[in-house]
Amino acid sequence: MNRIERLLSSMTLSEKLGQLTMTACGHAVTGPTIAGDSTAAIKSGAIGNLLNLVGAQDVRDMQKLAVEESRLGIPLLIGYDVIHGHRTVFPVPLAEAGLFDPATWTLTAREAAKEAAADGLALTFAPMLDVARDPRWGRIAEGPGEDPWLGMRIAAAKVRGFQGDDLSAADAVAACAKHYCAYGAVMAGREYASVDISERTVLEVHMPPFASAVHAGVACIMPAFTDLAGVPMTANAAMLRDWLRDKLGFDGVIISDYNAIAELIHHGVAADKAAAAALALQAGVDIDMMADAYRNGLPIALQRGLVTIGQIDTSVRRVLKLKENLGLFEDPYRRGARAEDPAELLKRRELAREVAVRSIVMLKNTASTLPLSASVKRLALLGPLADASPEMRGPWWGAAGETGQITVLEGLRDAFPAVEITHAQGVPIAADDVSGMSAALQACEGADAIVLCAGEAATMSGEAASRAHLGLPGVQRSFCELVFARARQLNTPVIVVLFSGRPLVVPWLIEAADAVLAAWFPGSEAGHAIADLIVGRASPSGRTPVSWPRAAGQVPIFFGERPSGRPAAASDHFTSKYLDVANDPLFPFGFGLTYGKFEFGNLRVSPHAVRESQMIEALIDVTNVGAGEAEETVFLFTHDVLASVARPLLELKAFAKIKLAPGARGTVTLSFAAAELRFLGLSLQPVFEFGEIEILVGPCADRAKLLRAVVQLTP
């Protein structure tokens, strides 16, 4: 009999349910405390998993209670939200998606895992894989953006990074892909609201990143808080048991979201905790996070005949197997046993700076305003986000403190040691205080350039941070307009650094500024990264992983929409368009300027007749006709011209990068398997239909900028 079966045969019902219970743990003056409970519950086996405990010694102390003072000595599984870094914070995931670089996506997860494991942690509630096409939803900041194909690549990269080659290694943590499935499609972009979309959209848009995570070996999956067409995901047996476990083959641990099992009562599908616990267990949820529904409800559910002890044992086996795979039975103290080398921490900060530089998107650069000339003598640095260390972290900052992030003020002072920098906040991020406006406008006098830092607070993105109005909060717009007006009078260029966890609807700002950097929330090295771009140490290379709307009324807006029977035509009133704004986004998916300028030509695609088993290869020549060395991202989209089901106007299938000096030319090769052109047919089963496929290659999801070729899919 193996270890797991021996333990199962020895466990009481309370001890079994303890393995299916996860409770939050925090800190008090006296040390770690367990939410609503005491450490005696760990010793008795009534709690087998913890979240939100940070610090190697505190983790060790808690682990010691389970391993050395409980009857069976089963180690704790301890998890934390390591979303985009732990103590070293990388750019928010939406920003990092704009790198279009799987190797870097893996690397940042690997470094975050090392840092979290050094704190004693064995589980992260990441990656967040919710495809989102509505920037009103605050959690768009945590995910891969609008495209499922991109989400698939990010999913695989992040799972590899967090879990490494050996899940039992001292620097590996179990990944938990979330939130399965379609959480990003909440009604009106409102957090925790209902989701009611077609089965085709679920399968084609929202499922693929999770399937990719499963294929990559993800250890855990977390269901969404939300319902899908009236069935809450926490109790959705069709999605969890039938699709995730049976069809996709996931055999790992399913962990509920925070209190989600108890919330089945609010959803109106369970009368009490016992009924809620039974629904979740039957659907396949193994660990109950913070609802205490399994501990308190499953004994009653057993008495009512709603569940069986065999169902409970199945979940306990999965939890124990995860702990075994993590090496917790062999050495429960291996994570956090050794402090990290300070040199490793320094290298990680350097990586955070590099990734932040590459994540920032230059949206505008009139008359080569950027990079700033070396002749600059005086800068005016304005705005509520110019010297705001806590905000640079973004909405999920892990264990990073409020201080320690490099601000724009600090970064510019380092980059321009001989330049006089006058800093004035002007206005707060969200409050209506205008008392600082005059001083800020005065700071513009005599400046060679104005750097204006505007945007959201970090907590305006992330969970429970939906916004109906996607402009600048507070009185920032009024302040910015005054700065622009004064700058015009002084003939001084204004560089806007825009901070947010989502696309903002600010066409007026883009129009008025001379240059705009979408910095997102760049993390620990924010100020240095922004300064590197402003002074020209690096050329911007970030790309938009989501479309930026012109108006909130365009939302949801994304490049993968299906064709209309009445496509927009200026000459025909009765076509699909708005009366008051253009259909197209302000900035399309994949947009981003550099200090170079790229031209595309000579697209060659082979073979012209393609079978399902073959690869399709596209070559395109790229020339840098600009003044600076820069890196261009090249995208390959496809369009199935005639199909049994109308296909999206553009589907992303490949991307590549090329760095070129001024005047240099290179050839980019992009390839993908023809089998990727399968789609879900009329019966929602994969089909490979013969006929014409457009291959479109270029700098972004703007068809006018893409070169086109055609291939034929054949038997």
Q: By C-alpha distance, which of 296, 299, 331 is closest to 63?
A: 331
DSSP character string of 630-686? EEEEEEEEEEESS-SSPPPS-EEEEEEEEEE-TT-EEEEEEEEEGGGG-EE-TTSSE
DSSP assignment of 455-487 equals E--GGGSSTT---S--S--TTHHHHHHHHHHHH
Largest CA distance in the chain: 83
Tokens of 504: 């903002």
- Of 119, 257, 514, 640, which residue is the catalytic one? 257
From CA 697, how far away is CA 637, in angstroms rounded? 6
Cα-Cα-Cα-Cα dihedral of 125, 130, 135, 137, to 10°?
Answer: -60
* The token pair that represents 440 in the structure block: 């800020």
Three-class DSSP category at 597: coil
What is the distance between the alpha carbons of residues 89 and 404, in angstroms, rounded to a whole number?
Answer: 10
* Cα separation, 134 vs 503, whole angstroms: 9
Tokens (6 digits) for 227: 């319902």
Q: How does DSSP assign 5-63, residue by residue?
A: HHHHHH--HHHHHHHTEEEEEEEETTEEEETTS-THHHHTTS--EEES---HHHHHHHH
Token pair belonging to 318: 């999965």
Q: Phi and psi for 405 in degrees, rounded to 5? A: -80, 140
Distances (CA, A) of 245 to 126, 141, 211, 407, 581: 19, 28, 11, 46, 45
- From 439, 431, 551, 452, select the one nearest 499 (Cα to Cα): 452
Please state, in angstroms and as integers, the Cα–Cα distance from residue 606 to each residue in 287, 616, 675, 692, following that order. 50, 6, 15, 14
702 is catalytic: no
Question: Can you say whether the dihedral through the CA atoms of 131, 133, 139, 145 is positive or negative?
Answer: positive
Cβ-Cβ contacts under 8 Å for 642 (sequence gap 6 or more): 691, 692
Check: CB of residue 254 under 8 Å from CB of residue 268.
no
d(CA 226, CA 183): 6
DSSP 372: P
- CA-CA-CA-CA torsion sign (401, 405, 408, 409): positive
What beta strand segments (E) does 54-156 contain?
77-80, 123-124
Backbone angles phi, psi at 169, to 5 degrees: -65, 155
Task: Give the whole-angstrom CA distance, residue 149 versus residue 97.
Answer: 12
Phi, psi of 227 (to 5 degrees): -95, 165
Of the candidates 197, 188, 189, 184, the residue with the CA atom closest to the CA atom of residue 225: 184
CA distance 411 to 357: 12
Residue type at position 641: V
Catalytic center residues:
257
